[in-house]
Structure 1
Amino acid sequence: MSVSQQQTQLNAHLLQAAQSGDLARVQAALKAGASVNAADLGRRTALTWAARGDHVSVARVLVAAGADPDLQDDQRNNALLVTGETGSVAMLREVLRARPDLTRTNRYGGTALIPAADRGHLPYVRDLLATTRINVNHVNNLGWTALLEAVILGDGGPIHTEIVRELLSHGADRTLGDKDGITPLQHARQLGYTVMVRLLEASTGQK
């Protein structure tokens, strides 16, 4: 077996181990010389695989070995962006150790904060806002901020209402409307989200 073939095999072992969450195999592959930033055919790295499976201990080892958290796959996902979808606070904290680029965006043009807000990942939103300087007013390809997504794609219940409160307390601009100029408050009114409406009214001073 040639040197390049051996490297390819080691890299494949690392990726498979990260995907399955096999910490011992991950450590063995790295020790044997696997590239920590190796990627599969879809350009998904071991760290991204670990994030998708919420294999926190695996991510910790990969980050310590120098894994690049910003490498994006064919779907424009990377480890940090995946955590915005899964809502794993433990994985978020491991990925943040690698000092990821908070401005990287997914295929919808959104940062990690936006999917977390619309999916109701309240603990994640709180932790991300408290520990980073992520742009709370980033606008995605739909023309929506995290605040708009929490209102429009949320259910108007206690969790999404608390996410709205968190976003506002960290500087979310409630005057930023969607592509049609409809603000979060107007959307909340149209959807009949009474408690959320009161919160947004109090924040804007509107009645």
Structure 2
Amino acid sequence: MKPFPFCLYPSLIYLALAAACGLGAMAVLPAAAQMAPHAVEVAAYKGLHAAAHYGDVPRIEELIATKIDLNVRDGNGRTPIHVATFAKQRSTIGALVKAGASLNLLDKDRYDVVTIASVADDEETLRVLLALGASAGQVTSRYDGTALIAAAHLGHDGVVRQLIAAGAPLDHVNNLHWTAAIEAVVLGEGGLRHQKTLQALIAAGANLQLTDRQGNTPLRLARSRGYEEMIRMLEKAGAR
């Protein structure tokens, strides 16, 4: 089964994960997360949010000259930079940052632009954000996770490598008691991109002995699922 982003996991899958991991059902039910502005919101946008969505840099520069609040929020707590990130408007992001907009604010669902780009597997926008100084290490989402954990969950191996290079914390433990290495196994399907993700984490020196709440290491989880290539990689790395 191909994994879905946090916001798309069906509730029954979350309930199954809860049962398998000894968690209460509410611990893993999906939140409204990673929500790009919908059509009604976009139609109502004015000012910086509208310019950010459509990539209208000249309009943004006009608005900047009026000393407008660069971090103004929409109804879901998104700043113009959040909106530009969802819309992959990289020039807009650059113009806003140059004018002093913050790269590291969280929206209403506690997501930052790095996590938004990471979950979207948008390597180019992520590259721009990191080059402009966005943090790869913020704690985000109702799961108290990181962009690296979210990307590992989804098998976004290129994103994972970028985040590692940017200093993302390798061994952060979220409130489900999972690390990036654990999520690469337990929320993946053992396929090539999750294998590459796990290999990147191993090569970077991730702690492979950290366990979930039931005492399972990534190796034990891989064995329980029959993920032979992951088992081989983990054993080669000295995991137990």
Amino acid at match of 2:98: A
Specify which of 180, 187, 211 is matched with residue 153 of structure 1: 187
Q: How many matched pairs? A: 195
Which whole-Å CA distance do the structure 2 matches of 1:201 and 1:113 have between them? 23
1:24-66 deviations in whole A, cap 9, x for unaligned?
3323322333221111122210111111122111111111111
Q: For residue 84 of structure 1, what is the amino acid of its counterpart?
A: S
Q: With CA pairs under 8 Å and 6+ residues apart, which has the higher RCO, 1 or 2?
A: 2
**Match of residue 68 from structure 1:** 102
Match of 2:201 in 1: 167
Contact persistence 2:90–2:125 (CA under 8 A): yes
The SS at the match of 1:108 is coil
Q: How far apart are residue 78 of structure 1 and its match?
A: 1.7
- How large is the RMSD of aligned CA atoms in angstroms? 1.8
Match of 1:140 in 2: 174
- 1:104 lines up with 2:139 in the alignment: yes
Q: Which sits farther off after the overlay, 136-145 or 89-98?
A: 89-98
Is structure 2 residue 156 aligned with structure 1 residue 121?
yes
Unaligned runs of 5+ in 1: 1-10
- Structure 1 residues 107 and 183: CA distance shift in structure 2, 3 A: same
Q: Within 2, Cα distance between the matches of 1:124 and 1:76? A: 20
Return closer, same or farther for 1:29/1:195 CA change in 2, 3 Å cut-off: same
For residue 114 of structure 1, give the secondary structure of its aligned residue in structure 2.
helix
Distance (Å, rounded) in 2 between the aligned partners of 1:154 and 1:187: 11
Query: Is 1:105–1:112's contact at 8 Å kept on the other side of the alignment?
Result: yes
SS of alignment partner, residue 142 of structure 1: coil
State how far apart, in whole Å, the 1-side matches of 2:194 and 2:118 are.
15
| TM-score, L = length of structure 2 | 0.76
2:125 pairs with 1:91: yes
Question: Is the Cα–Cα contact under 8 Å of residues 13 and 29 in structure 1 kept in the other structure?
Answer: yes
Identity %: 37
Q: TM-score, normalised by structure 1?
A: 0.87
Contact 1:63 1:94 in 2 (8 A): no
> More deviation in 95-104 or 141-150?
95-104
1:166 & 1:58 partners in 2: Cα distance? 31
Structure 2 residue aligned with 1:77, among 98, 111, 119?
111
Moved over 6 A (4+): none
* Alpha-carbon distance in structure 2 between the residues aligned to 1:111 and 1:139: 9
What is the alpha-carbon distance in structure 1 between the residues aligned to residue 172 and residue 87 of structure 2? 27
Residue 197 of structure 1 corresponds to 231
